[in-house]
Amino acid sequence: MIRHSSLTRRAFLAGTGALLAAAALPSLAAARANTIRIGYQKAASTLVLLKAHGTLEKRFAPLGVAVKWTEFPAGPQLLEGLNVGSIDFGYVGEAPPVIAQAAGANFVYTAYEVPTPHAEGILVHRDAPIRSVADLKGKKIAFNKGSDVHWFVVAALQKFGVRYTDIQPVFLPPADARAAFERSAVDAWAIWDPFLEAAKRQTNARLLIDGEGIVSHHQFFLSARPFAQDNADVIAAVIDEVGKEGEWLRDHYPEAARQLAPIQGLDASVIEAGLRHYAHVYRPVDAQVLAEQQRIADAFAQLRIIPGQIVTKDAVLQVAKG
């Protein structure tokens, strides 16, 4: 179970709200949208619970602001939705924003979840002779292109002296990757929770390595830049409710897992184990986390995963101090 000294919800809201408000247009009341369109993934448990509980709808109803939810299979697809203007706000991992910024997406980092390195890992077959990251040379590794585990694979290879060109990437979304792994069409599979925990329990899988000591595995709340500039109060209210939902979840793991089970299509015990690998603690974006994002961007540029250099701090309205 992950334990963190978390910010209080009031401090978190004050920090994030101040950043948004500082960069907002003068008349927020006049500029407020009548709808906020939120993109989410089934694995993004805090947002899924927020949707299931109807909390935002209740908070925004007196203000005449509707909430529209759109599900995406993974972060890269969600960022594409943000880029083309079909959503205003979403929750993704650390790699998709780098890919999206390199593609010219007009978004801003809004808040982030503190590190959760145990929530992703590389699986191999239980009886495989692969015992270390070095043994992955020449092997087929399945992972979702442009996702957190894409960066995790790159970082793990770098740490253990294996070149990215020494492996055979097989780009597959989670469901297809699991199928390929189960029929031994790939040698390894990099994946995140709750799919990681499910595969460990339900397939002939062995955890080779998780993110501990390799990656932070941050998760980010992102906003379309024009929406964030014009609707700072709406975004701050969403972040407030996200913080409260995270607090509730940390105190109610079994109940949260039971509620998520029919939505995520997994056994509640699997979901609870996966939930405990995440922090559910959120903070305003600061210089340190942007520096970590820059590390991803620089590595991806060097490997030509993105077309050129980017500056991650360009994708903020204002950076938190401290």
In 3D space, the residue among 21, 15, 81, 74 whose CA is nearest the CA of residue 44 turns out to be 74
| Region of residue 138 (left: phi > 0; alpha: psi -120 to 50; beta: else) | left
Q: Say yes or no: do domains 9-116+218-315 and 117-210 share a fold.
A: yes
Q: Which CATH superfamily is domain 9-116+218-315 in?
A: Periplasmic binding protein-like II (3.40.190.10)
* Residue 146: both structure tokens together: 């442009």
- Does a cis peptide bond (omega within 30 degrees of 0) precede residue 307? no
Which pLDDT value is given to residue 74? 81
- DSSP symbol at 69: E
Q: Give the contacts of 179 (CB within 8 A, at least 6 positions apart).
A: none
The span from the CA of 70 to the CA of 307, in Å, is 29
Query: What are the sequence ranges of the domains in the chain?
Result: 9-116+218-315, 117-210
> For every one of its 322 residues, what pLDDT tens digit does the chain have, with 9 covering 90 and above?
444 444 445 544 444 444 444 433 333 344 478 999 999 988 888 999 999 999 999 999 999 999 999 999 888 889 899 989 999 999 999 999 999 999 999 999 999 999 999 999 999 999 999 999 999 999 999 999 999 999 999 999 999 999 999 999 999 999 999 999 999 999 999 999 999 999 999 998 999 999 999 999 999 999 999 999 999 999 999 999 999 999 999 999 999 999 999 999 999 999 999 999 999 999 999 999 999 999 999 999 999 999 999 999 999 987 555 5
Q: Give the contacts of 273 (CB within 8 A, at least 6 positions apart).
A: 193, 194, 197
Fold of 117-210: D-Maltodextrin-Binding Protein; domain 2 (3.40.190)
Which pLDDT value is given to residue 321? 56
DSSP string covering 44-58, please? -HHHHHHHHHTHHHH
